[in-house]
Chain A
Amino acid sequence: MTSLTSDDIEDQLDNFIIRKTNDQSSTYVARHKITNNGQRIHEHIPLLVKDILQSRPDADNKGAFSLFNPTELKYRNCLVYGFVAGRGVHNKSFYNYVLDDGTGTIQFCIFAKPREEKIIKCLYSEAKSLIGSVDTQKYEKISATMTRLLGKAMEYIDGSVISPGCNVMLYGRPNHFRDQIKMDVISFTVDNDRSRSLEIAFTENLIDYYQSHST
């Protein structure tokens, strides 16, 4: 009997792999609330900037917005992913930037959180000071882990870490002011690594969502 080459084995293996069909894959379901008259108001819905710009405040539900693409859709909070294309005028209580997701541009603002910043900074220096204490060896590892964690936590709080050229994912709500739609950010993630996993995952969910909505 001749020995099998690796190619042959791969051919054999191929027959045993059960492929998941497309329609079995789960589609993204955004969280939503249903109002008294049976309307659905979405809470975590992935949207394109173009659609956010076209949405209007919903007359029936305070704080909700509605848009058409391709059917009517109501939402309170949404998710967007994009490229920071510019910087607006910052001030003491918030940071302003311009987001571009390839379908449009929208201004977004991140509120400064001085209280949270202060707490994290205090904890950070506390963790740092562990090294200088009596049992330096004992606390070295813990201190390193803590400082790393708290440093990372700061990135999610501090809006000043964003600069033009970053990629960000935002969770927030539109703000209709003087006929202009801006976005108030509730939380954000900066995604500047080479890996595009987050961007791909976001667009996949968005496509799934739009497709499930249009049928």
Chain B
Amino acid sequence: MSDIEINDPAENFPKYCDFFKYLLVEELVLEPDYRQIHYGKCAVIGRLCAIPDYFKLENVTVPHLPSAYRLPTGAVSLLLLNFSYDNSCTESLANGAYCIMRGEVVLCNVQKPNSPTLTTRGLHEQLLQLEDNDTVRSTFLEKVQKTHKPALSVWHSSRIDQAEELIQRRLEIRLLCN
């Protein structure tokens, strides 16, 4: 056995989340550091908002959170990709309906539509390729943060009732897992 430690930089990369982890719209939209954004599958509960060109998922108030952290429903919204009424899995999904969306988190370039999307891991890889220079890295990060926005590539959607209560229970379950 050798004592040499092999430092594989890939070990520090975020691991792909292989199950639909329940996340809040706020967690994805309000994260200032894109390197910390969830990588992989997730399930998000929110209110569907149809804007002429695209769809968004608005946050839903979490009733039991301390008032300092509680946002009113519709305060922030997450961009939805690959979603339309035609490929929605339930009937009667309409503007303003509460729903649960399952899919994958990506970083979408909002300045150049239809350009390839980025993931949190992709961001880490690109940062690794840059020189070991903090200023170069931070300018790159700033650039990405200006052009890209977190978005959800939707694989499955369904309309639900009791959205607030469900979010509450799901948060409590996450506490049990820690």
Say which residue of A102, A165, A210 sits within 8 Å of B43 (CB atoms).
Answer: A102
Bound together, the chains give a CA A195 to CA B172 distance in angstroms of: 20
Given contacts A50-B177, A83-B43, A83-B102, whether A102 and B170 have CB atoms under 8 Å apart is yes
B92's nearest neighbour on chain A, judged by CB, is A194
B165 within 8 Å of A by Cβ? Answer: yes
Given contacts A83-B20, A83-B43, A102-B21, whether A48 and B160 have CB atoms under 8 Å apart is no
A27 to chain B, nearest CB (A): 14
Check A194 against B160 for contact (C-beta < 8 Å): yes
Given contacts A48-B176, A203-B170, A206-B173, whether A102 and B158 have CB atoms under 8 Å apart is no
Given contacts A105-B19, A204-B169, whether A196 and B176 have CB atoms under 8 Å apart is no
Bound together, the chains give a CA A103 to CA B169 distance in angstroms of: 13
Given contacts A165-B156, A194-B160, whether A207 and B22 have CB atoms under 8 Å apart is no
Bound together, the chains give a CA A206 to CA B90 distance in angstroms of: 28
Bound together, the chains give a CA A36 to CA B105 distance in angstroms of: 51
Bound together, the chains give a CA A170 to CA B162 distance in angstroms of: 22
CB-CB < 8 A to A196: which residues of B?
Answer: 160-163, 165-166
B160 to chain A, nearest CB (A): 5
CB-CB < 8 A to A105: which residues of B?
Answer: 18-19
Check B169 against A200 for contact (C-beta < 8 Å): yes
A12 within 8 Å of B by Cβ? Answer: no
Interface residue count for B (Cβ, 8 Å)? 24
A153 to chain B, nearest CB (A): 25
Check A103 against B19 for contact (C-beta < 8 Å): yes
A104 within 8 Å of B by Cβ? Answer: yes
CB-CB < 8 A to B89: which residues of A?
Answer: 165
Bound together, the chains give a CA A206 to CA B19 distance in angstroms of: 19
Contact flags A176-193 to B (C-beta < 8 A → 1, else 0): 000000000000000010
B149 within 8 Å of A by Cβ? Answer: no
B159 within 8 Å of A by Cβ? Answer: yes
Bound together, the chains give a CA A105 to CA B172 distance in angstroms of: 19
CB-CB < 8 A to A6: which residues of B?
Answer: none
Given contacts A102-B19, A105-B18, whether A197 and B177 have CB atoms under 8 Å apart is no
CB-CB < 8 A to B22: which residues of A?
Answer: 102
Given contacts A50-B177, A165-B158, whether A199 and B166 have CB atoms under 8 Å apart is yes
Say which residue of B18, B19, B166 sits within 8 Å of A200 (CB atoms).
Answer: B166
Bound together, the chains give a CA A192 to CA B165 distance in angstroms of: 17
Check B172 against A207 for contact (C-beta < 8 Å): yes
Contact flags A47-83 to B (C-beta < 8 A → 1, else 0): 0111000000000000000000100000000000001
Check B162 against A197 for contact (C-beta < 8 Å): yes
Question: Which residues of chain B from 121 to 150 have a CB within 8 Å of any chain A CB?
Answer: none
Given contacts A102-B19, A165-B158, whether A203 and B43 have CB atoms under 8 Å apart is no
A169 within 8 Å of B by Cβ? Answer: no
B162's nearest neighbour on chain A, judged by CB, is A196
Given contacts A83-B102, A103-B19, whether A203 and B162 have CB atoms under 8 Å apart is no
A203's nearest neighbour on chain B, judged by CB, is B169
Bound together, the chains give a CA A105 to CA B89 distance in angstroms of: 21
Check A200 against B165 for contact (C-beta < 8 Å): yes
Say which residue of A85, A192, A206 sits within 8 Å of B20 (CB atoms).
Answer: A85
By a beta-carbon cutoff of 8 Å, the part of chain B in contact with chain A is 18-22, 43, 89-90, 102, 156, 158-163, 165-166, 169-170, 172-173, 176-177
Give 12 pairs: A residue, B residue, CB < 8 Å, sorted on A.
Answer: A48-B176, A83-B20, A102-B20, A102-B21, A102-B43, A102-B170, A165-B89, A192-B158, A194-B160, A200-B165, A203-B172, A207-B176
User: What are the 5 A-B residue pairs with the smallest beta carbon separation, nearest first?
Assistant: A203-B169, A102-B22, A196-B162, A105-B19, A194-B161
